[in-house]
Amino acid sequence: MLKFKNKFKFGLSEKSPNSSSNSSPASSHKDTTPEKSPEPRKTLTSDLSDNISKLTLGDSEAGASATASPDVPHGQIHGTENVPTMETSNSNDSANPHTPSSPGLLTVKIYTSNNIQLPIKINNSKQILHALAINSNNETIGQQLLKNLETLNNAEGDNHPLVGDLLPGTIASNFLPSIITIPNAENLVKSLLYLTIEFDNNVLVIEPQKGTVNRSTWNQVVSFDVTKKSQETTNGGDNETGSSFLNLNLFIRLPNMLIPDSEKVTKKHLFTNSGSQPQSPGKSNASANSGSAPANIGDLLIGTIKLPLNLKYHSQPIRLMNHEYLKFSNYNANLQDLISTEMGEIMLTIEFKPITKKHLAITDFDLLKVIGKGSFGKVMQVVKKDTKQIYALKTLRKQHIVSRMEVTHTLAERTVLARINNPFIVPLKFSFQSPEKLYLVLSFINGGELFWHLQREGKFSMDRSRFYIAELLTALESLHDLNVIYRDLKPENILLDYQGHIALCDFGLCKLNMSNDDKTNTFCGTPEYLAPELLLNQGYTRSVDWWTLGTLLYEMLTGLPPFYDDDVPTMYKKILQDPLRFPSFLDHTDAQDLLIKLLQKDPANRLDDANEIKSHPFFKDIDWVKLLNKSYLPPFKPNVENLLDTSNFDQDFTSEKPQDSVVDDFLTESVQKQFGGWTYNGDNVL
């Protein structure tokens, strides 16, 4: 079980470069090679305690924080903090024929699947196939399977496809039920086949009702909340049509004894546990990439459908697809990208229904589990009562925000989340408030923090690191395109989704309205990741994000940040003065060259443009459009059963009773006004 520790933001005085105290969160291996702490690293904020105010002279944010006392009027906060003009009102919507329609509900009905083939050969084990057939959850299907098995038993001749140790994937699906009743287990039904349906980073899992793997009856209906943002063009969508995608992935849980060892090795990328073997710290990743077959191979991905959906301009209920068959494609074995081998088809109806605007409240949600603690409140797994969608609900207590002078950062988080549209940033679905609290409703991302995966495995392979850095690079690029600096990139703020894609979260340190060369001064971030110019308090630009990207890549590849030291002041000194050194095992020329160019101490010499970084030889094999369309199969798939699965969260949290604690804070009207622009109901109006 992974252990999650509470993370708290704390005042800058604790970790200023001028501080002589050794308050490193890391463990104390002072005389030996430094060893990173297993605890999440804390974020420094600009709380402006006395001794740090020296470091933050002249910064507009600092002023904002300092003035954000309970009685400060609304205007002062806006004026000092550069709070953006939140979202622009859509009062002109009716005049613009291209204005997207209202938010709504997307309903997908799944009827039948046909001609499904397996992408691997299976063992020709008549005993197991027979056992599966007689345990089919439907008698008629069981009979049919037994009949099919007779043809298998009767097949003769050396060249007959049904003779031999292995059955070709093209026909194997005729001998497998899609759902079985487990004998002696009180009629427990277990489906072999299942389908994940993803829209806007929310994923639902459905199972068939009956059938063979080749042909199944599903008759299932699922719904997704559609916000205006998910209707807009994302850079992960098709720019011409302004679409977002509905992603369908068809999986099969194959009994291990049916999977030949040779297929476990050559088609490893198609199994959900591919590459997920933990690695001990400091050990080379060679074994994870070697040909050896993992013991627990997981489920097999049969095929994928990526369906662009243009949900713009529909102000009336509409049926976008009516009982249509869509074909599954498969992932290419070598390149691990999507190719159009047809793996069978599935019949769907897709409907979109705009909904009338309504403010949400906590009573619109059932609280399922506590999954984390943030600086100002809990994060809970919740289900939205009307659509049955699972979300992460982040609660923030207004009183705490105000007393810790974090109003501006909190508003910035909400603003950035509502504006940004990148497939690797956790999507904000809604936000609302009560007199005492602020609430953010986010897509529930349950593959665990990258921090914990890195802790567990010590370091990542070159390919895996490249994949994460590439996805993060596009996330930072889209933030910069919105004139936002992220400022707190680190493994603790990166979640993995159920497939293993990146979802950047925690936007509490974003700085808005920062165009290309604009400088800011606020001393904030996380010690290990602070850029030299930030430490020197000379003002910094968005270039600090590229420094942190370099730091992150270095940490992924080696297990430690580049200038790490147990003692924080020494670490700051190293960041400022020490040359960049590589451990002997990090001998990849392109990786070294990119790190050298990102970890330039003088920002003027640093790579400073997303496109320039993208065209570095380190990324030469990456097709950026494909990457943004999530068409690469992630090199690591977290263990996630379904959307309800919270096993990647700390049990200390998940065992807690989920409740929205009652607080009786009183906030003055002027303080309440500061939170005026918070509410976001999936529409653009704030």
Ligand X SMILES: Nc1ncnc2c1ncn2[C@@H]1O[C@H](COP(=O)(O)OP(=O)(O)OP(=O)(O)O)[C@@H](O)[C@H]1O
Site string for ligand X, 625-654 (x = CB under 6 A): ------------------------------
Q: Is 31 a catalytic residue?
A: no
Query: Given the rule CB under 6 A, which of 7-15, 20-28, 109-117, 528-536 is the region that contacts ligand X?
Result: 7-15
Question: CB count, 10 Å around CB of 632?
Answer: 19
- Of 124 and 648, nearer to ligand X (C-beta) is 648
Q: Are 25 and 31 in contact (CB under 8 A)?
A: no
Q: How far is the CB of 20 from ligand X (least distance, A)?
A: 26
Strands (E) in 449-587, as ranges, are 494-496, 502-504
Specify whether the backbone of 611 is left (phi greater than 0), alpha (psi in -120 to 50) or beta: alpha
The residue from 506, 545, 555, 683 that contacts ligand X (CB under 6 A) is 506
| From 47, 59, 225, 488, the catalytic residue | 488
Window 507 to 566, contacts with ligand X (CB under 6 A): 508
Q: How far is the CB of 167 from ligand X (least distance, A)?
A: 41
Q: 648: exposed, middle or buried (C-beta count within 10 Å: 0-12, 13-18, 19+)?
A: buried
* Residue 371 binding ligand X, by CB under 6 A: yes
Reported as half-sphere exposure (CB side, CA atoms, 13 A), residue 170 has a value of 4
- Of 17 and 508, nearer to ligand X (C-beta) is 508
Q: How far is the CB of 531 from ligand X (least distance, A)?
A: 19
Window 435 to 454, contacts with ligand X (CB under 6 A): 442-445, 449
Query: Given the rule CB under 6 A, which of 76-84, 162-170, 366-374, 630-638 is the region that contacts ligand X?
Result: 366-374
Which amino acid is it at 12?
L
394 labelled as ligand-binding? yes
Query: Given the rule CB under 6 A, which of 461-469, 500-508, 530-538, 560-568 is the region that contacts ligand X?
Result: 500-508
Window 378 to 407, contacts with ligand X (CB under 6 A): 379, 392, 394
- Of 488 and 608, nearer to ligand X (C-beta) is 488
- Of 402 and 445, nearer to ligand X (C-beta) is 445
* Residue 374 binding ligand X, by CB under 6 A: yes
- Of 420 and 426, nearer to ligand X (C-beta) is 426
Distance from CA of residue 57 to its chain's centroid?
Answer: 36
Q: How far is the CB of 64 from ligand X (least distance, A)?
A: 18
User: What are the tokens at 41?
Assistant: 């690293």
DSSP 8-state assignment for residue 658 = P
Distance of alpha carbon 363 from alpha carbon 358, whole angstroms? 13
- Of 8 and 313, nearer to ligand X (C-beta) is 8
* Residue 203 binding ligand X, by CB under 6 A: no
Q: 670: exposed, middle or buried (C-beta count within 10 Å: 0-12, 13-18, 19+)?
A: middle
DSSP per position, 144-161:
HHHHHHHHHHH--STT-T
Helix (H) and strand (E) counts for the chain? 20, 22
* Residue 415 binding ligand X, by CB under 6 A: no
Query: Given the rule CB under 6 A, which of 3-11, 211-219, 658-666, 669-677 is the region that contacts ligand X?
Result: 3-11
Which amino acid is it at 207?
E
Window 9 to 48, contacts with ligand X (CB under 6 A): 9, 43
Q: How far is the CB of 52 from ligand X (least distance, A)?
A: 18
- Of 8 and 585, nearer to ligand X (C-beta) is 8
Distance of alpha carbon 562 from alpha carbon 553, whole angstroms? 9
Q: How far is the CB of 410 from ligand X (least distance, A)?
A: 9
Which amino acid is it at 294?
P
The b-or-e profile of 557-571 (16+ CB within 10 A means b, else e) is: bbbbbbbbbbbbbbb
Question: CB count, 10 Å around CB of 69?
Answer: 13
Beta partners for 682?
Answer: none
Name the phi and psi angles at 105, rounded to 5: -125, 125
What sign does the CA torsion over 479, 483, 484, 489 have? positive
Window 570 to 629, contacts with ligand X (CB under 6 A): none
The residue from 505, 514, 571, 671 that contacts ligand X (CB under 6 A) is 505
Q: How far is the CB of 572 from ligand X (least distance, A)?
A: 21
How do 244-252 and 202-206 pair as beta strands?
A: unpaired
Question: CB count, 10 Å around CB of 87?
Answer: 16
Query: Given the rule CB under 6 A, which of 202-210, 223-231, 368-376, 567-575 is the region that contacts ligand X?
Result: 368-376
The residue from 13, 117, 234, 375 that contacts ligand X (CB under 6 A) is 375
- Of 23 and 170, nearer to ligand X (C-beta) is 23
Closest CA to 293 of 321, 323, 269, 315: 269
* Residue 119 binding ligand X, by CB under 6 A: no
* Residue 372 binding ligand X, by CB under 6 A: yes
Distance of alpha carbon 538 from alpha carbon 148, whole angstroms? 75
Q: How far is the CB of 49 from ligand X (least distance, A)?
A: 17
| Sheet hosting strand 318-327, strand order edge to edge | 210-211, 216-226, 104-114, 345-354, 318-327
Q: Which residues contribute to the site for ligand X (CB under 6 A)?
A: 7-9, 43, 371-372, 374-376, 379, 392, 394, 426, 442-445, 449, 495, 505-506, 508
List residues with catalytic annotation. Answer: 488
Binding residues for ATP: 394
Binding residues: 394
